[in-house]
Structure 1
Amino acid sequence: MTIEVGQQVPDIELTGDNGEKVKLSDFKGKHIVLYFYPKDMTPGCTTEACDFRDRHQSFAELDAVIIGVSPDSQDKHQKFKEKHDLPFLLLVDDEQKLSEAFGVWKLKKNFGKEYMGIERSTFLINKEGTLVKEWRKVKVKDHVEEALEELKAHA
């Protein structure tokens, strides 16, 4: 079953880019901007990550943490973070547990090929762990600003 706005988010444990086990409940008391992206080091995902990086301080001032999620390995996440100086946590969802819970693991088509992958999406979770806003099929341009404006409405 997919999480919906108004519901508590699932408490699935994943490994962070730093090798530590992480659950969303570890961040209770802070807003969470949880964004799912298809793949490290690709153009759209790099742009999105760097946009979040560039506005990281603005999110932090509103008592929010940014967390990126993709199926990439811990090693790939570390390289991605180092290359682009990303100041936030990236989670390894190689078994798609969190992606499926949020309904972002989808059948995709690209150049006539079908495959399973992440549909770029962002979720705003309040300090109590309740989903308050979702953006699905995200277009990268101006998305981070839109998420920041929505956070301001909840902060």
Structure 2
Amino acid sequence: MSKAHEVFLQELMRMPGIKSALLVNNRGEVLLSAGQFALNSQATVQMGVLLAQLSAVAEIEYNKVEEISMVFADGRITTFTNLDLMIETTYGTQEVFLILVSAPTANLPTMRMTVKVAADKLKKDRAVAGLRVSVSVLRRNLLTRDRLDATSWELLEAMNRA
């Protein structure tokens, strides 16, 4: 993990209302995070996998998804899936997407703009600019019967039949 990615997350944390920022690979594993996060490690893993699965389902239905935003009582979770971000890990270069946890009053247009600018800045950093993925992992690989509950699997099958 490079210093550039940490700077990227810290830049996002400076936005008003942002509680935490996470970089998650296409298998749903949280690789890097910043900010205060109240979930335990097991819940964080589950959240990463569920959001990766949600974005995979959205891509099946709508082909390309830029962001998914969900509002709940204590805040908002926004997933930016098509930023084309790469990160170097011990297992090689991996594609990642961004999850921002924010207050419900956080300004979504400002969040979008800040994320785009910070992502462009990150991609131009020398430590990151040359990263290429040798093997791409599709988020759709998480949509298997053993990883979904029965209702979710039936819904996915219905979507595929339609």
Task: Determine if the TM-score, normalized by the shorter chain, exceeds 0.5.
Answer: no
Q: Which is richer in helix?
A: 2
**Which has the higher relative contact order, 1 or 2, with Cα contacts under 8 A spaced 6 or more apart?**
1
TM-score normalised by L of structure 1: 0.29
What's the TM-score once normalised by structure 2's chain length? 0.28
Larger Rg: 2
